[in-house]
Amino acid sequence: MRRNATCPTLVLSATVLLCATGCQTLSSRFLSLMGLSKDPLALALAMDNSPAAPVEALNPFPRYAALQKALGDGLGRPVAVDVCFLFQADLGLTSGLYDVADVTTTQYARLTRPETLRVLAVPADQQGRIARCAVLVVAANSPIQGVPGLRGKIVAFGPADDPRTHHAALHLLQREGLAKTDLALEVLPVLGGLKHMPDARSVAQTVASGGSDAGFIDEAAWDALPEHAPPADEPARDKLRIIGRTAPVPDRVIVASPKLPAETADKVSALLLAMECDHPDALKPLGIAGFGTPDADAAAAWRKLILPAEPPPEEPESADQSATESAPPPS
């Protein structure tokens, strides 16, 4: 009798300990092995430690609770949500510990083998866009008319590692024939660094006031700027002029492990795409309007925007060329 009474106590203690440490996947799977619940769908939330990440990102569980429940009800099985580092999400997707992962676009590009992961859905912003660009702006009275005119100029970028106002911004400059070293680079805090600003308002302000010759602003932040702002120190759209746009990229990407059965992946994707109609209350805490799916080439394009281009391989010398170069000169 004493042994029988101890077993449930151990089970309960272990479950409480795992839940307390945030390991919903391990605790839920522990319960399923004990026959106390169904096997969960494991969802990894990779921590966004970029400077632009909101404070709420430190504790995403309240924001994801309604979505977690809606997915669980639709699947007929529990959904376990774990907050983890990117390397943990990467290993978990590869091993099958995690069935699905919700990552930023920058994180998605840096996964070990993102091309093997199926993109299930991409969050859409309040305007219904699953991807959007950054606008390149100059002061309204600036003589600069296009990207080539930025050579030797001071350009303000958004937070470091931001997919739009950093990575896509550099890609736009490169596409127009400008390298990072063609700009007027910073001395502090890092010699030769880009001029990074903490938010869109700071970029707009430095460009409008003449502190920078141009700057990159997220399209959503640009739309949110007032058309007119009487105070001289307040940024507004009429004080700026758009001279370019980056390629569009999303905020986040939801991917499936290669080990997740195709029928389950299909169902998760369908539930997410129908969330706007079936469970709009689950979207409000996340600040999104719904989910969409990108076309087949979009995911590869996002990775190319963020990952540095690899140098072309050197051409091997042919045998004839090698022999010619090593032969002694004629007498």
Q: Domains in the chain, ordered, with CATH?
A: 40-128+252-306 (3.40.190.10), 134-245 (3.40.190.10)
Q: How confident is the model at residue 54 (pLDDT cuts 50, 70, 90)?
A: low
Q: Which of 105, 56, 60, 46 is nearest to 251 (CA)?
A: 105
pLDDT tens-digit series, residues 196-252: 999 999 999 999 999 999 999 999 999 999 999 777 678 899 999 999 999 999 999
Give the DSSP letter string of 243-269.
Answer: EEEPPPB-SEEEEE-TTS-HHHHHHHH
pLDDT tens-digit series, residues 136-181: 999 999 999 999 999 999 999 999 999 999 999 999 999 999 999 9
Mean pLDDT of 12-25: 45
pLDDT higher than 50, residue 326: no
Cα 115–Cα 116–Cα 119 angle in degrees, nearest 5: 75
CA dihedral 21, 26, 31, 32 (to 10 degrees): 160
